[in-house]
Amino acid sequence: MFSKRLNGKCQIKSDNYGERRTVMWKLSTLRTGGREMQSVRRFACISVLLVSSCVGGEAFGAFQMYWTNSSPLQSRVMRADLDGQNPHVVLLDTGNAWGFDIDLSGGTMYWSDTRTQSIRRANLDGTNIESLVTTVDRPLGIALDTLAGKMYWVDGDTGKLQKSNLDGSDIEDLATGQVFPIGIDLDLVNDKIYWSDSETNQIFKCNTDGSNIESIVVEATDVHGIALDLAGGKIYWAEFDSEKIRRANIDGTAIEDLVTGIGNIGDVGLLEGKMYWTNWSAGKIQYSDLDGSNIQDLVTGLSDYMPAQIDIPTLIPEPTTLLLLGLGAFVLRRKR
């Protein structure tokens, strides 16, 4: 899931697929005169996670995706290259993993465990497993705001949207009275939380403090995972029973069917003109263009483990780095 605590908006530009990517930020607070500042970055979306780093302004390493397998046999976290190559198990001792997110800067992964009714954390190599929150009934979707040191999740049984510090302390209820909230994504540019409710067939949003709750989509049948495309002004979602991936404008208007009739879709994520999803019934990770065309299989043979959530993590630059970039752009402009 792509979320940044910045007063401005971002655009993602790409060279050829698989090569370097450029993120262009418009930061009005840094007084750049409306000029676009560039920094080579990796872009992230959902719970498949894409992994990247940034050193000296240059991105390195390959994108990778992570996903959870929710199964009564053996739940696990898996990882593969973005083209589906080199799939392997990252973590086995997950209980019954559902929601998933990664803090690359902290070198940790977070997941919701419906078996132990907890939110847990481990190092990216699978060591040092911790239970952070143990007062949840059925934790499902989870999302991190690493810059603010917060995590957000939905509880399907109690019908709550909640948040806490990354260590699980200071738990707050943000929204109550939901029926079965299941998916979540963050718009930290505009300080908004979006979540889905698979029983009421709706997608909601509110401020990150829980205020101003509103329903933006009311025609989402058995909606599960959701993903925001802030640059494109769109929201995407997976409909499990109706076997669809759909999208709408960020305000919920102009709903479109993108992918239909290919199986029970658990989660969806976005990356540079591509859409990635977990196909429960077919046991696959798949992707396509954003309009649903050119569907391809990336990872197959997952039928015994029911791929649930998919995520693509990114390393978020520190605020001081962004400030220095902004001041540099301002100085260069003054010299011209």
Query: How far apart are alpha carbons 320 and 265 in whole angstroms?
Result: 40
**Poorest-confidence range of 48-62, 70-84, 267-281?**
48-62
pLDDT surpasses 50 at 253: yes
The Cα angle at residue 81 between residues 78 and 86, in degrees rounded to 5: 70
Residue 224: CA count within 13 A, CB half-sphere: 26
The confidence score (pLDDT) of residue 305 equals: 65
pLDDT at position 159 over 70: yes
At residue 75 the predicted structure's pLDDT band, cuts being 50, 70 and 90, is: confident
In whole angstroms, give the CA distance from residue 336 to residue 64: 41
How many percent of the chain have pLDDT more than 70?
73
What band does 243 get if pLDDT is binned at 50, 70 and 90? very high
pLDDT digits (tens, 9 = 90+) for 256-310: 999 999 999 999 999 889 999 999 999 999 999 999 999 999 999 887 667 777 8
**Token match 């696990």: residue?**
76
Residue 47: name the closest of 127, 109, 108, 4 by CA.
Answer: 109
Q: Among 105, 104, 98, which residue's Cα sits nearest to residue 119?
A: 98
Judged on CB neighbours under 10 Å (0-12, 13-18, 19+), 218 is exposed
Which long-range contacts does 170-175 make (Cβ < 8 Å, 24+ apart)? 171/133, 171/135, 172/210, 173/210, 174/206, 174/208, 174/209, 174/210, 175/204, 175/206, 175/210, 175/213
| φ/ψ of residue 319, rounded to 5 | -55, -35
More confident residue, 229 or 104: 229
Among 7, 17, 37, residue whose Cα is nearest residue 25 = 37
**What pLDDT, on the 0 to 100 scale, is given for residue 166?**
98
Read off the pLDDT band of 125 (50, 70, 90).
Answer: confident
| Distance from C-alpha of 33 to C-alpha of 323, rounded to nearest angstrom | 15
Alpha helices in the chain (DSSP H): 319-335
pLDDT band at residue 313, thresholds of 50, 70 and 90?
low
320 pLDDT higher than 80: no
Amino acid at 237: W
Residue 62: pLDDT over 50: no
In the predicted model, what is the mean pLDDT of the chain?
79
Which residues have CB under 8 Å from 7's CB, separation 6+? 27, 28, 29, 189
Query: 58-311 has which fold?
Result: Neuraminidase (2.120.10)
Look at residues 168, 192, 258 and name the one whose alpha carbon lies nearest to residue 2.
192
Confidence of residue 73 (pLDDT cuts 50, 70, 90): low
CB 239, CB 255: distance < 8 Å: no
